[in-house]
Amino acid sequence: MRKRKNSSKSYLKKSSREDYDYHLPVLRKEAVDWLITDSNGIYIDGTVGGGGHAAEILRRLASGGKLLAFDLDKEAIDYCNVKFSDELQSGEQSRLVLFNESYSKACSIENIEGKLKGLLLDLGVSSRQLDIREKGFTHRENAALDLRFSPSYQPAEALLAVAKEEEIAEVLRKYGEEPFARAIARRIVLIRRVVPIKTTAQLKEIVEYCVPKKFLNRSLARVFQALRIAVNDELNTLNETLNCIPFKLASGGRIVVISYHSLEDRIVKQAFRKYSINVKERDRERLSNDMPILKIFTKKPIVPSDEEIRNNPRARSAKMRVAERI
């Protein structure tokens, strides 16, 4: 049997600022402190990205531990294949398995029900994705209006080409909480009658036309966020996963979720509450007993320190919630 190299030092060495050009992992220590309760357990990192949290998880896992890491973005998986090459080359001894899939697929993995010791979700978009012009995630660069995490979804330009005015306005209101949603939707429909809306610059120009200058930057952020959420079906994916994962957890297994806007945080808060109250109160026929199945550890979400926010401005809106299977 080939002896595994002690890889904890290499993960620490790779955890440099250069490596985090993908993005600095938010609440890295706090998230993994809450997540890991058994160093030989099975864990899921549902949003592996640049592997910042995954590296810390692997550093704490013993030889019997396993990390199943998911990401829809193939570039993230390719990046982690290189980053964790030493670990992945260990063959059957490897503690890491990478999946180029949505984290919702974790719900259908066989043979983990009652064995899973923890799920970590670091939601939203990575700094690397924002920096790649071709993905069209930001209004600061002119690019194709894409906004997809994966080619399996239709791009934002396709959505705007066919959706009715009312549907576009609803997307902007529901997923972006955008106060100028109706005016922007109306303008989109008017413009597309003349020319297809295919670029981020075209969409930015439409928002600039509809929104007073003092509100413009926030509206642009909300509009791009709303379309990204709609294109990737992010909130439904989150909701579905949080409704299946509690039943996969072993006793004492934990769910740790880091969210970046109120819509995500609300879904996490509601799902945790749903499974932490008496079954008769939530009227779930699929459960055979009257006991709650989750214990909430975070009545108020955990937020980054001032120092972390100074070092990583992306962290400023982060909120982390934690619950444990009873």
Q: pLDDT tens across 23-46, in order? A: 689 999 999 999 999 999 999 999
Q: Which of 232, 248, 269 represents a domain boundary (last residue)?
A: 232
Same-domain pairing of 210 and 81: no
What's the mean pLDDT in 233-247?
Answer: 96
State the DSSP code for 22. S
**Could you tell me the CATH number of the domain that includes residue 188?**
1.10.150.170
DSSP per-residue string spanning 114-174: TTEEEEEEE-S--HHHHH-GGG---TTS--BS---SSTTSPPHHHHHHH--HHHHHHHHHH
Which amino acid is present at 67?
L
For the entire predicted model, the pTM comes to: 0.86
Selection from 46, 248, 54 nearest residue 149 by Cα: 46
Question: Per residue in 75-93, pLDDT tens?
Answer: 899 999 999 999 999 877 8
Same-domain pairing of 52 and 117: yes
142 in any annotated domain: no
Same-domain pairing of 251 and 221: no
Number of domains composing the chain: 2
Q: Where does the pLDDT of residue 17 fall: very low under 50, low under 70, confident under 90, or very high at 90 and above?
A: very low
The pLDDT of residue 277 is 85
Query: What is the number of other CB atoms lying within 10 angstroms of the CB of residue 92?
Result: 6
Query: Which residues constitute the domain of residue 158?
Result: 154-232
Distance CA 144, CA 178 (A): 22
Same-domain pairing of 217 and 252: no
Q: What are phi and psi of 142, to 5 degrees?
A: -80, 125
Same-domain pairing of 224 and 270: no
User: Cα–Cα–Cα angle for 42, 48, 51, nearest 5°?
Assistant: 100
Q: Where does the pLDDT of residue 225 fall: very low under 50, low under 70, confident under 90, or very high at 90 and above?
A: very high
288 pLDDT exceeds 60?
no
The pLDDT of residue 125 is 73
Same-domain pairing of 38 and 123: yes
